[in-house]
Chains A and B, each alone.
Chain A
Amino acid sequence: MDSILDFKNITKKYGKKTALDDITLSIPRGSIVGLLGPNGSGKTTLLKLATGLLQPTRGEVLACGFKPGAESKDLVAYQSDKVYLNDWMNVNDLMNMLNDFYTNFNKPKALDMLKSLNINPNDKLKEMSKGTKEKVQLITTMCRDVELYLLDEPIGGVDPAARDYILNTIISNYQENATVIISTHLIADVEPVLNHILFLKEGRIVRQGDVDDVREETGKSIDALFREEFRC
């Protein structure tokens, strides 16, 4: 199985602070990966390096076989942990803009998902709650037909029912050559959906592997293991 995301000896420093410390990893195609770690452990930095939004201080990143750039951006969909949507637009404007902007935006699917989540395409983003905006933003990411989805805290602000729907979307979207990397603190919610985990601690990978192998080995859920590993 070839890999979809490779980090080779990646170090990222912000001034004197080291966010990622000599990380080497390889994510196989066709997995749903949980990127887990306490606040400030480097999750967002890792995802931003994979998209090319940040440049590493040292080391090499390959996403879908390319150095992050124009070619990889066509194959990678990234969802920031912040809401970046333009407030003055309504949802329809946004969908049309994305449809123009990306060659692989699946507009019928987006409209279908909006309908399932009871979001009116004529509503202005300005008038939406934070959670609703997060749902819209996630739809814009999941409705691109790409090989790699990078989701930074995608379900933190949405209600449990919508969370279920979103996880369902991730499962049903799942294709054999598509890969999803999710960073989240809501481990118990996403655990059954994951098949691979990465634990980050102070910029290093402290554990990685297949979810069921980890459960078999430790006799613990990922959630319980996390609480143990990162006890404050």
Chain B
Amino acid sequence: MEYQFSNDKPIYLQLMDVFKVAIVSGELPKGERLESVRDLAIVAKVNPNTMQKALSELERIGLVRTERTSGRFITDDEELILSMKNEIAEKEISVFLEKMKAIGISKENVIKLISDYNSDAK
């Protein structure tokens, strides 16, 4: 997992984004046990309180669950993971389309460019 923080958003939200991507991509497989807050904080080079907050928020939206005495785990709920995946994809697409709009390319042209790009890559 790559941690790089931008300046415009709270760090705990950015940590959540990193975890969401890792979960939907399968880098953190469903049902996997997470490391301790302190170890995760050291790897991410963040304050343990901030990491704690990010994990609590992930728990609140159901991507992570805590089992007393045995620690924190990634959810087993495949449907939830899939809907999170779609949510992330939609967000990325909207950012991308905004940029295309800014340089004057319509959605239809974008679709054409993407399919051309694919065939070029082959």
- A residues sitting closer than 8 Å to B (CB atoms) are 30-32, 164, 167-168, 171-172, 174, 192-195, 211-213, 215-216, 219-221, 223-224
Q: Interface residues of B: mostly helix, strand, loop or mixed?
A: helix
Contact of B46 among A31, A192, A213, A219 (CB under 8 A): A192
Q: How far is the CA of A172 from the CA of B45 in the complex (A)?
A: 10
- B7 A223 Cβ-Cβ under 8 A: yes
**B25 interface hit (Cβ, 8 Å):** no
What size tier do the contact residues of chain B reach? 10 to 19
Contact indicator B7/A212 (Cβ below 8 Å) = no
Q: Do residues B38 and A212 form an inter-chain contact, with CB atoms below 8 A?
A: no
List residues of chain A with CB within 8 A of the CB of B50. Answer: 192, 195, 211-212
Which of B8, B44, B47, B48 is close to A220, meaning CB atoms less than 8 Å apart? Answer: B8
B8 close to A31 (CB less than 8 A): no
B residues in contact with A215, CB < 8 Å: 8-11
The reply to whether A192 and B7 contact each other, CB–CB distance below 8 Å, is no
Contacts of B53 in A (CB 8 A): 212
Q: CB distance B38 to A172 under 8 Å?
A: yes
Contact across chains for A192 and B5 when beta carbons are under 8 A apart: yes
Say yes or no: A171-B45 contact (C-beta < 8 A), given A192-B11, A224-B7.
Answer: yes
Shortest distance from the beta carbon of B55 to any chain A beta carbon, whole Å: 14
- In the bound complex, do residue B8 and residue A192 qualify as a contact, i.e. CB atoms below 8 Å apart? no
Residues of chain B within 8 A of A213, CB atoms compared:
10
**Residues of chain B from 5 to 58 with CB closer than 8 A to chain A in the complex:** 5, 7-13, 38, 41-42, 44-50, 53
